[in-house]
Amino acid sequence: MKIHHLNLCTMCPVGGRLISGGHRSILDAGEMVVHALLVETAREGLVLVDTGMGLEDVRAPVRRLGPGFVALSRPRLREEDTAVRQVERLGFKRDDVRHIVVTHLDVDHAGGIADFPDAKVHVHRREHAAAMYPSTLSERNRYRKVQLAHGPKWELHDDGGDSWFGFESLKVVADDVLLVPLPGHTRGHSAIAVRADDPVGPDWLLHCGDGYFFHLEKDDPECCPPMLRKFQATIAVDDAARRANAERIRELHRQHGRTVRVFSAHCPHEYRALAETERDRSGRLPD
């Protein structure tokens, strides 16, 4: 399978090094990406892992994303960065995307679903329930039903799957794309494992969604910049579960880092490293 790394939006929250580390002023903008994968499969067409913000989100951000999200994250919303436009630039049609697999349904992960109305949308059943039938004020505030009002072709997945490096995993697309439940950030948050099929690289990529945010957290959670660490704890629906699963991710990275390449949805350092690797192997500059 061929895997493309896409940045679907760059967000620029105020906070500088308190969010992004380094030596920038705290008055400067931080940097967070929206890292998605586009997977070319032999039999199942294209598989999109997370969808970022969609075309309608770019055109009407406050109504679609919510004023709080727009004010705090300060996203650079450009039509050319949406998943559908990047798919088209790679020479495909939107209908070639037959499967969408989402880590969770927050606004910056699920907005592009509407741009692929014929795709099957794979998500953990608990996450679907949280978005469709929110039971807390936090859940009512974080999900935007307008993004899902078109009626996606849901494929809901339950617990009870096979073991994958000690994690429960649920087959989504054959044996090559797996849903790995990692609740905490949201009720049904999951990582997505994709078989890399690369003779000189790792066997698997693990898109951890919002299981952690900063690249150095894979080695030590105390290395996370303070504002970003506080944000993760505040927005988590179950912070104890989030922290426990983040530790499981670190253990996977320590024990199997050569076999499984772990990365998060919003870390620009990880995105650039993987995009650079893709460019080196294909001769194409990733978007």
Quote the tokens at residue 263: 């990365």
Q: Give which of 108, 75, 91, 80 is closest to 38, Cα–Cα.
A: 91
Q: How far is CA 209 from CA 23, 28, 166, 265, in A?
A: 26, 25, 19, 5
The CA radius of gyration of the chain, in Å to the nearest whole number, is 17
Closest-CA residue to 105 (of 73, 58, 152, 39): 152
Q: pTM of the full predicted structure?
A: 0.95
- Do 239 and 212 touch, CB atoms closer than 8 A? no
Both structure tokens of 229: 């660490």
Q: What is the pLDDT of residue 284?
A: 52
pLDDT in tens, 163-177: 999 999 999 998 899
Q: What Cα–Cα distance (Å) separates residue 65 from each residue in 108, 253, 266?
A: 8, 33, 17
The count of other CB atoms within 10 Å of the CB of residue 162 is 11
Name the residue ranges covered by the structural domains of the chain: 2-282
Q: How many CA atoms lie within 13 A of 116 on its CB side?
A: 35
d(CA 193, CA 130): 22
Q: Is 135 helix (H, G, I), strand (E, B) or coil?
A: coil
* Inter-residue contact 211 to 151 (CB < 8 Å): no
CATH code of the domain occupying 2-282: 3.60.15.10
Q: Which residues pair with 181 in a beta bridge?
A: 190
Residues of the chain whose pLDDT is less than 70?
282-287
Q: Would you state the pLDDT for residue 286?
A: 46
CA nearest to 50, candidates 163, 164, 210: 210
